[in-house]
Amino acid sequence: MTATGKRSLGAGTERDLSIAPVVGAADPRRFTDSGIEVQPLYGAEDLPDPLELGEPGAFPYTRGVHAQMYRERLWTMRQYAGYASAKESNERYRYLLAHGSTGLSMAFDLPTQLGLDSDDPRCLGEVGRTGVAIDTIEDMRTAFDGIPLDEVSTSMTINAPAGVLLCLYELVAEEQGIPPSALRGTTQNDILKEYIARGNYIYPPAPSMRLTTDLFAYCHERIPSWNTISISGYHFREKGCSAVQEVAFTLANAIAYVQAALGAGLAVDEFAPRLAFFFNGHNNVFQEVAKFRAARRMWAEIMRGRFGATDPRSLMLRFHTQTGGVTLTAQQPLNNIVRVALQGFAAVCGGTQSLHTNGYDEALALPSERAAKIALRTQQMLAYESGATDTADPFAGSYYVESLTDEIERRAKSLIGRIDGLGGAVAAIGFITGEIDESAWSYEERYRTEQDVVVGVNRYVEQETRGEDILRVDPQTEQAQVARLAQVKAARDQQAVAERLADLRAACSGTANTLPAIREALRARCSIGEVCGEMAEVFGHYRPAA
């Protein structure tokens, strides 16, 4: 590996991986995970002359999307939560709101993410494990019992069945007497990153992109304050990509979504103001701040230059940050409290619009109540004790951070150019996956050789004598959920179910927006598995190439 982060491919060829090289232990040089060599000292000669930063709240938004930033309004403190049953998740949501959380972030179990019912034989052992099980409107109603949906902002980490869960949320709000126009929140709805990094897909890319843009149009008409997509780099970073790759691959996917929406006949300034982004927060505070600043600047230029957007809101990269799950260690888990604080500090200094801070015990299990409270208190200390909220873009003008911002932008643009040359993000799924795999290998090698130090894991290791008290999901939860689903299916109007599923099949077979038919099927108490299964009969299932 060379100092510029290029891996030799033989016959004299090299390619820039935008990842840190693996160097010998005696090598005094230092690199970020993106292969950017860090100099011992930075000065004015490392920056353009004159240095033109712009102003917060003005194009190209390098310094933030609002002029006053947190002096005017703090970020949304949104703790990711959900496990076991809807009732238990409701109790956790109420607990977080009571302790100062200002938004909800809903975690779903694996069956729900894959559009499967809890009684599906494939789901045995997975119901309620990684999040809450939602099968029908009864579950969604229970999850938000006593929570006025016009007073909270709710983020739902759901992708392939995003439209289904949004319609359930809308129906529960309707039961509360709340109009769709009063709802605020986000559906992740980012299917491309599932093909690349997570694997929680259902349908092939073409119909999946249709469902994504159907949600754009539906919300423009009915739920105008809803963020229709959260274009995610978080999962790329969790899989092992570098900061530069996180920016490049996220924005490349965003370009693909914009192009798909334009192809579906939507006007750019109708849907672009409701696009949102989702990034990871890692330990290198300076690189993370620079990453957020570079991404904002790049997106503003892409939207104005490539797509001709004129509404200032279309040019603003608004993003949620979650601290890095992959950085958490099972060894000495209390050390994770410090890691999360550093990562949250970087997100705030980088101008995030909402933030989730991980529980210190998440390398062991779903976060316990104690860990969730400490994570929320971490955000509150960042807001009121750190000084990071007193001024917009507090690292602006730093020789080091400005240099990193420019270099991340340069390298990310180069990667996007390569993706464009391959035909865009959809066509480049294999290329992107390969680049992330290369980066993950580099991380592992740097860790193995102690070029990268992880305190408590490969240095300062201790013999641990006791385990943490962790959250354990009662295995009886699954049986109870399956029993509740059976009761719903037995008590509903079966003819109405059949009629609404037939309507949904017709909508999927034609060109109409699918979400109205999804909503009415759910109103008739069709289950998620039935709705997604009906769509799969028309769209097919995605099967990755061997």
| CATH for 277 | 3.20.20.240
- DSSP one-letter code for 326: G
Q: Is 16's pLDDT higher than 80?
A: no
The pTM assigned to this predicted structure is 0.93
pLDDT of amino acid 9: 31
Q: Is residue 38 part of a domain?
A: no
Average pLDDT over residues 467-496: 91
Pairwise pLDDT comparison (460 vs 544), residue with the higher score: 460
Among the residue ranges 101-110, 410-419, 512-521, the one predicted with the least confidence is 101-110
Q: In terms of pLDDT, which residue wins out, 80 or 138?
A: 138
Is residue 146 domain-resident? Answer: yes
Specify whether the CB–CB gap between 290 and 247 falls below 8 A.
no
Cα 515 from chain centroid (whole Å): 23
pLDDT of residue 73: 96
Could you count the other beta carbons within 10 Å of the beta carbon of residue 151?
A: 10
Mean pLDDT in residue range 17-23? 86
**What band does 15 get if pLDDT is binned at 50, 70 and 90?**
very low
Mean pLDDT of 400-409: 97
- 236 HSE (CA, 13 A, CB side): 31
Per the listing, tokens 């090598």 go with 27
Q: Are 526 and 500 in contact (CB under 8 A)?
A: yes
**Average confidence score pLDDT of the chain:** 94
Which residue from 316, 314, 249, 313 is spatially nearest to 280, judged by alpha carbons? 249
Comparing 95-99, 389-393, 469-473, the range with the smallest average pLDDT is: 469-473
Q: What is the mean pLDDT of residues 277-284?
A: 98
Question: How many Cα atoms occupy the beta-carbon half-sphere of 50 within 13 Å?
Answer: 3
Phi, psi of 167 (to 5 degrees): -65, -40
Residue 459 DSSP symbol: B
The tens digit of pLDDT for each residue in 132-172 reads 999 999 999 999 999 999 999 999 999 999 999 999 999 99
Residue 178 and residue 149: Cα distance in Å, rounded?
7
Query: Contact 419/428 with Cβ under 8 angstroms?
Result: yes
Contact criterion met (CB below 8 Å) for 334 and 371: no
Q: What is the pLDDT of residue 471?
A: 81
163-179 confidence digits (pLDDT tens): 999 999 999 999 999 99
d(CA 391, CA 271): 31
Amino acid code (one letter) for 457: V
Task: Out of 5-14, 169-178, 332-341, 504-513, pick the least confident.
Answer: 5-14
pLDDT at res. 12: 31
Q: Report residue 311 as tokens.
A: 């509404």
Q: Tell me the pLDDT tens digit for each residue of 506-525.
A: 999 999 999 999 999 999 99
Helices (H), 135-198: 137-143, 162-175, 192-193
Residue identified by tokens 């559906």 is: 187
**Residue closest to 173 by CA, chosen among 131, 223, 136:** 223
Residue 542 domain flag: no
Give dist(CA 212, CA 189) in Å, integer: 6
Mean pLDDT on 333-351: 98
pLDDT tens for each residue of 179-224: 999 999 999 999 999 999 999 999 999 999 999 999 999 999 999 9
Q: How many other C-beta atoms lie within 10 A of the C-beta of residue 176?
A: 15
pLDDT for residue 465? 65
- State the alpha helices, DSSP H only, in 449-527: 476-491, 494-509, 515-523
Instruction: Give the integer Cα–Cα distance in Å for 539 and 62.
Output: 41
Q: What is the DSSP code (8-state) at residue 225? A: T
Given a cut of 90, is residue 414 above it in pLDDT? Answer: yes
Q: For position 42, what pLDDT does the model report?
A: 97
What value does the mean pLDDT take over residues 455-466? 88
Q: Which of the 8 DSSP states describes residue 367?
A: P
Q: How far apart are CA 127 and CA 48, in angstroms?
A: 55
User: Quick one: which of 465, 442, 446 has its CA closest to 454?
Assistant: 446
Distance between CA 524 and CA 518 in Å, rounded?
10
Of the pLDDT bands very low, low, confident and very high (cuts 50, 70, 90), residue 323 is very high
Sign of the C-alpha dihedral computed for residues 516, 528, 87 and 491 taken in this order: positive
Q: How do residues 263-280 score in pLDDT, each as one tens digit?
A: 999 999 999 999 999 999
The residue range of the domain holding 382 is 69-421
Q: How many separate domains does the chain show?
A: 1
What per-residue confidence (pLDDT) applies to 208? 97
Tell me, yes or no, whether 406 lies in a domain.
yes
Q: How far is CA 318 from CA 137, 232, 249, 303, 451, in A?
A: 31, 12, 17, 13, 34
Do the Cβ atoms of 107 and 130 come closer than 8 Å? Answer: yes
What's the pLDDT at 415?
A: 98
- Please report which residue ranges of 422-455 form alpha helices under DSSP H: 429-448
For the cut 90, the answer to whether the pLDDT of residue 491 exceeds it is yes
**Residue 322 in contact with residue 365, Cβ under 8 Å?**
no
Q: Is the pLDDT of residue 13 over 60?
A: no
Q: How confident is the model at residue 3 (pLDDT cuts 50, 70, 90)?
A: very low
pLDDT beyond 80 at 250: yes
Q: Give the pLDDT score at 545.
A: 77
Residue from 505, 513, 512, 509 nearest 531 by CA: 505
pLDDT at residue 83, as a whole number: 85
Confidence of residue 463 (pLDDT cuts 50, 70, 90): confident
Q: Which amino acid is at 11?
A: A
**Element containing residue 15 per DSSP (H, E):** strand 13-16
Q: Which pLDDT value is given to residue 420?
A: 98
> Which of 501, 499, 483, 480 has the alpha carbon at shortest distance from 491?
483
> Is 540 domain-assigned?
no
